[in-house]
Amino acid sequence: MSIETGGAERRNHLTVAEARAAIFERIAPVAGWERVAVRSALGRVLAEDVVAPCNVPAHDNSAMDGYAVRAADLAADGETALTVVGTAYAGHPFSGVVGVGQAVRIMTGAAIPRDADTIVVQEVTHREEQRVFIPPGQRKGQNLRRAGEDLALGGVALAAGTLCGPAELGLIASLGIAEVAVRRRLRVAFFSTGDEIASIGRPLAPGEVYDSNRYTLFGALSRLGCEVLDMGVIADQPAALEAAFRDASQAADVIITSGGVSVGEADFIREMMTRMGEVAFWKLAIKPGRPMAFGRVGNAFLFGLPGNPVAVLVTYYQFVRDALLGMMGVSPLPSVQLFEVPCADSIRKQAGRREFMRGRLAERDGRLVVGLAGAQGSGVLRSMSEANCFIVLPEDNAGVQTGDMVLVQPFDGLV
């Protein structure tokens, strides 16, 4: 029965918001941490605050190439001529004092000489031998970077729960810290189900299809930094599925399956979850991806994703990815980035469910527009490859006309 028909069946379909709430009510960050070298922290989650052991920058320094001067020496009207008494380089400071009527040539990053309090940029000055001429209009303290301006000694440079990217590695290194504490990697087991699923590398038998879902999941989980356990293809047999669930729940924090969550006679995932653990939900008011199960098996959380390749990716990115980040200890979780652009195509839709269409954002006549990226069937994986965003049509949307404003969720930063 479809969601549009109403009744008890429709009430069992959770909205996206309801499903996400049910997931985040149950999950918690994994226990365990380790100390790693800074470079090995890329893609890892900090287990404790990184506290600044020094000021950054360590000393007052120049933000520009120019001249270090005393503001009191500068005339309010007309040029000021000062005598240049030396040069300050980054790493090689000027050791003397800037006296009355004097200036020091200074490079970006160099320590501010004693008694100087202003940097005049080189471009506005002119030089005649050992004299530099400063135009009016300079402000005391301009172009200075103060010690501790970026980070003060004892301050929290990065909070526990931060996911370390390139900028975070650089920030840690700027503090002279060689090792940081990170949460252990999240262990995720995954497998495909179905007697029709064939592993790659051999010819297809009649009625078989190649297993693409394990490869898309492997890519998504590896990019997220999880420790992955690929359990292959499990046949639609209760005994085989039960053994796979038992092994996976003992080895991993999370189990992800694809296929077997519909209402067919050979769809056993929900039955196994009920018998071996808990089913929190298994139907969603979305397209693609209506049959998706979430719950527990043993000590592991289970996400039972649909079998169709596009539905796997839609449900992974809308539900599973953020849940995994939460279990990794990321805090705060990244917010879903949606914005409106005109749609270049008309789209048919029934109200009552949220739909995720594969779209392609492009610039036309100086503004962004979005169009459909190929055929939209839930088995057409090529359209995901050609897309760079989801077109998100909310539950109350009843169709789109060309030129209508629609919500888009860019893949950049998501996939």
CATH number at residue 164: 3.90.105.10
Say if 386 falls within a structural domain.
yes
List pLDDT tens digits, range 67-99: 999 999 999 899 999 999 999 999 999 999 999
238 in the same domain as 252: yes
Say if 70 falls within a structural domain.
yes
The residue out of 300, 328, 356 marking a domain boundary is 328
Are 44 and 182 in contact, with CB atoms under 8 Å apart? Answer: yes
Judge whether residue 171 has pLDDT over 90.
yes
297 in the same domain as 221: yes
Say if 334 falls within a structural domain.
no
80 in the same domain as 42: no
223 in the same domain as 95: no
Judge whether residue 5 has pLDDT over 50.
no
Judge whether residue 265 has pLDDT over 50.
no
CATH number at residue 246: 3.40.980.10
Residue 365 domain boundaries: 339-410
pLDDT computed for residue 267 by the predictor: 60
pLDDT computed for residue 121 by the predictor: 97
Q: Average pLDDT, stretch 188-202?
A: 88
Say if 154 falls within a structural domain.
no
- DSSP three-state, residue 200: coil
311 in the same domain as 174: no
How many domains does one find in the chain?
4
- DSSP three-state, residue 117: coil
- Name the pTM for this structure: 0.83
Phi-psi map region of 161: left, alpha, beta (phi>0 left; psi -120 to 50 alpha): left
Name the band, by pLDDT with cuts 50, 70 and 90, for residue 7.
Answer: very low
313 in the same domain as 197: yes
* Bridge partners of residue 339, in order along the sequence: 408
- Is the sign of the CA dihedral 159, 162, 167, 168 positive or negative? positive
pLDDT computed for residue 237 by the predictor: 85
The residue out of 328, 360, 383 marking a domain boundary is 328
Average pLDDT, the chain: 91
Say if 151 falls within a structural domain.
no
Q: CA 202, CA 199: separation in Å to the nearest integer?
A: 7
Judge whether residue 351 has pLDDT over 70.
yes
Highest mean pLDDT among 37-46, 275-284, 301-310, 326-335: 37-46
86 in the same domain as 47: no
The residue out of 265, 300, 328 marking a domain boundary is 328
Q: Which residues contact 232 (CB under 8 A, 6 or more apart)?
A: 191, 192, 199, 214
Say if 319 falls within a structural domain.
yes
Peptide linkage before 53 cis (omega within 30 of 0): no
283 in the same domain as 196: yes
Name the band, by pLDDT with cuts 50, 70 and 90, for residue 336.
Answer: confident
List pLDDT tens digits, range 61-71: 999 999 999 99
User: Residue 335, class by beta-carbon neighbours within 10 Å (0-12 exposed, 13-18 middle, 19+ buried)?
Assistant: exposed
CATH number at residue 393: 2.40.340.10
Say if 150 falls within a structural domain.
no
State the DSSP code for 239.
Answer: H
Name the band, by pLDDT with cuts 50, 70 and 90, for residue 2.
Answer: very low
374 in the same domain as 288: no
110 in the same domain as 130: yes
Q: Which residues contact 35 (CB under 8 A, 6 or more apart)?
A: 179, 180, 181, 182
pLDDT computed for residue 245 by the predictor: 93
- Long-range CB contacts (within 8 A, 24+) of 380-385: 380/310, 381/212, 381/216, 381/309, 381/310, 383/310, 383/358, 384/309, 384/310, 384/313, 384/358
Q: CA 39, CA 30: separation in Å to the nearest integer?
A: 22
Judge whether residue 266 has pLDDT over 70.
no
94 in the same domain as 105: yes
42 in the same domain as 17: no
H helical segments located in 147-268: 166-174, 213-224, 238-251
